[in-house]
Amino acid sequence: MAQRTVEKAGGMVLEKIRLEVEDHIGVITLHNPPRNVLDSQMQHEILAVCAHIDQDDDIWVCILRSDLPTFCVGFDVRLFRQSVLDRDVTNVQEVYYDGALALYELRVPLICAVHGHCLGGALCYAAGSDITIAAAGAQFGIPEVNLCVTGGSGHLARMVPPQIMRNLAYTGKFISAEELFGYGGLTMVVPPEELMPAALAKARELCARGPLILRYFKASMNLQEDFQMKRKNDLEITYTRYMARHEDFLEALQAFLEKRRPDFSGAAPVKK
């Protein structure tokens, strides 16, 4: 079957997300140079692509990948800081979480192929996938604590045991693909040059089972799983909104952008 490229989804021209379909496999490529920062446009395109896939009967399995030197470094901190100044933290968070939820609830199996860094919001994509394959040496993490943001822990809990998750959440430290695989958080770790061949081989293996059983089986497993993705997302949005009332919140974001240590006060919420 000839390869086809989906250039528009939901009336939106795709500029930072590419969708190519061949032999019933949809390859979603993150492309926002230089490091795939999740800006607003990218997140809206992810939502549009997911909605398109859910209506395309020719797509039986999907692969999520990057064609840049790293998978994705997470949320656009400058955009998030502006949302704080505009007092729009919740709405900006919800756009991202809607995208993460759409990938998790995609009606077809999703294989995530990770190389380089997979951080913050991007880790939620990997954690919400059905199968995650990583290149050797890839690094995963939720550095949100460095931004005074409560986010990503509910997703990370799907990949590592509770105390490992809490240590990573509280410290913002990264974990290697090899260590994550040891905790059962990855399906496999392969040499970098074998990443896409391994993802495609897995996708073909799943396609051989037929499209209908894959869709029904995924729907069944998502309903059985005690993941409560939507509820966890809502909780993280709520507690980040609480944190946004404090001066320490804006200080953390500013310090990150200025590449300096933040000067926290721990003061009571600012009355507005």
What are the tens digits of pLDDT across the range 118-142? 998 899 999 999 999 999 999 999 9
pLDDT single digits (tens) 157-203 = 889 999 999 999 999 999 999 999 999 999 999 999 999 999 999 99
Site of tokens 């990264």: 174
Total of domains in the chain: 1
Tell me what pLDDT residue 218 has.
Answer: 95
DSSP code at position 160: S
Contact 16, 41 (CB under 8 A): yes
In a domain, 181, yes or no: yes
Q: How far apart are CA 109 and CA 131, in angstroms?
A: 8
Chain centre to alpha carbon of residue 165? 16
In a domain, 32, yes or no: yes
A 10 A CB-CB count for 199 gives 26
| C-alpha dist (Å) from residue 63 to 129, 195, 256 | 9, 11, 32
In a domain, 204, yes or no: no
| C-alpha dist (Å) from residue 121 to 23, 89, 96, 148, 154 | 30, 15, 8, 15, 11
Q: Residue 215: pLDDT above 70?
A: yes
Amino acid at 205: E
Please give the mean pLDDT across all residues of the chain: 89
Residues, the chain, total? 272
In a domain, 266, yes or no: no
In a domain, 246, yes or no: yes
CA dihedral defined by 250, 251, 252, 256, rounded to 10 degrees? 110
pLDDT single digits (tens) 164-176 = 999 999 999 999 9
Q: Which of 55, 49, 180, 154 is nearest to 97 (CA)?
A: 154
Tell me what pLDDT residue 267 has.
Answer: 79
Determine the structural domain holding residue 167 and report its residue range: 4-192+213-258
Tell me what pLDDT residue 77 has.
Answer: 76
CA dihedral defined by 35, 138, 158, 19, rounded to 10 degrees? 50
Site of tokens 């607003």: 40
In a domain, 14, yes or no: yes
In a domain, 206, yes or no: no
In a domain, 268, yes or no: no
**For residue 83, what is the domain's CATH number?**
3.90.226.10
Residue 227 burial (C-beta neighbours within 10 Å; 0-12, 13-18, 19+): middle
Contact 123, 140 (CB under 8 A): yes
pLDDT band at 148 (very low <50, low <70, confident <90, very high): confident
Contact 23, 39 (CB under 8 A): no
